[in-house]
Amino acid sequence: MDLSIIALLIGYVLDLLIGDPDDWPHPIRVFGNAIYTGEKRLNAGKHRFWKGLGMSLMLCLLVFAFFTLMNQLLSGIHISLWLVFNSLMVWYGLANHNLIREGKNVFKALKEGGTEAGRKQLSRIVGRDTSTLSPQQIRIAVLETMSENLSDGVITPLFYYAIAGVPGMMTYKMINTLDSMIGYRSDRYEQFGKFAARLDDVANFIPARLTALLMILVTFSKRGISFVFRYGNQHKSPNSGYPEAALAGILDCRFGGPNRYQGTLVEKPYIGTNDRTIRDEEIKVVSRINHLSCLLMIVLLVFLYAVRH
């Protein structure tokens, strides 16, 4: 069996069983520190857009070069070292276990501790202001985040692993980290982070739509298909609307609507019309959809590797 497949499967199983322990070292923290340092030094004065563009491209090129060189070095020493390194990086590159765990934790906090506890737990995983959200809005925020991050944190990294192995996967993780840190439309980041935000949009264009397709395939949802075509392109983001629309269709509920981000009211279009109450047990349904979508993507990649070789 191709060693790339073995590394993929080992990394997938590690994420499935362990996830990312909070106190363990993680390459994304290194990425974040590099972005923070660069932004602090460069995001001032004139030509902020070009400075942000230069920093974003440089960091992405450095990441791709580093992981390419590491693979060449380790394979030259012993192939087992290459396998261990790539398996660990696939594990680090996937976020399905933690995404599902965090979603369940919000539902649990809301059920056991009340609205304020749910708001506090939700603030760990979303960028919106959670201080005034109702229990229904908290549950909707969790489901929106789980569908969107199924794309950003699971399917898209696997997509780029299929194209360029660990260097491709980790370069995408840098792109996504750049967007999450500086890709905001605020006075501070509007110019400096504009290129990073657009780069993330381009990187996620195909995988976001693939994610919606996978969600529909694992649930056999005809309504999910109709929601994707009806609402997918109505979201402010060119990509987030597709997995969100798929999940809203699968569950026959309504996502979207106005929310506050960093003190600014953002009018997001509604996805769906059935403004029903989200039940506590539906987090289990969504978790299963995430697991099955990830598994189907893994199966597809193994199949593609087998056909190519």
Q: Is the pLDDT of residue 230 over 80?
A: yes
Q: What is the predicted pLDDT for the residue at 209?
A: 98
Instruction: Provide the token pair at 93.
Output: 């590159």
pLDDT digits (tens, 9 = 90+) for 141-184: 999 999 999 999 999 999 999 999 999 999 999 999 999 999 98
pLDDT at 77 over 80: yes
**pLDDT score of 265:** 76
Q: Is the pTM of this model over 0.85?
A: yes
Tokens coding 24 = 């363990």
Q: What is the pLDDT of residue 309?
A: 74
Confidence of residue 235 (pLDDT cuts 50, 70, 90): confident
The amino acid present at 195, given as its one-letter code, is F
For residue 109, name the pLDDT band (cuts at 50, 70, 90).
very high
For residue range 93-105, what is the model confidence (pLDDT) as tens digits? Answer: 999 999 999 999 9
pLDDT bracket for residue 1 (50, 70, 90) = low
Specify the range with the lowest mean pLDDT, choosing from 17-21, 79-83, 220-224, 240-244: 17-21
Instruction: Please calculate the CA angle 288-6-60 and round it to the nearest 5 degrees.
Output: 80
Check residues 74 and 260 and name the one with the higher pLDDT: 74
> pLDDT band for position 262 (50/70/90)?
low
What gap in Å lies between CA 31 and CA 58, rounded to an integer?
A: 12
Long-range contacts of 127-133 (CB under 8 A, 24+ apart): 127/261, 127/262, 128/259, 128/260, 128/261, 129/259, 129/260, 129/261, 129/262, 129/263, 132/260
- Averaged pLDDT for residues 226-233: 97
* Residue-level pLDDT at 52: 98
Residue 190: the pLDDT is: 94
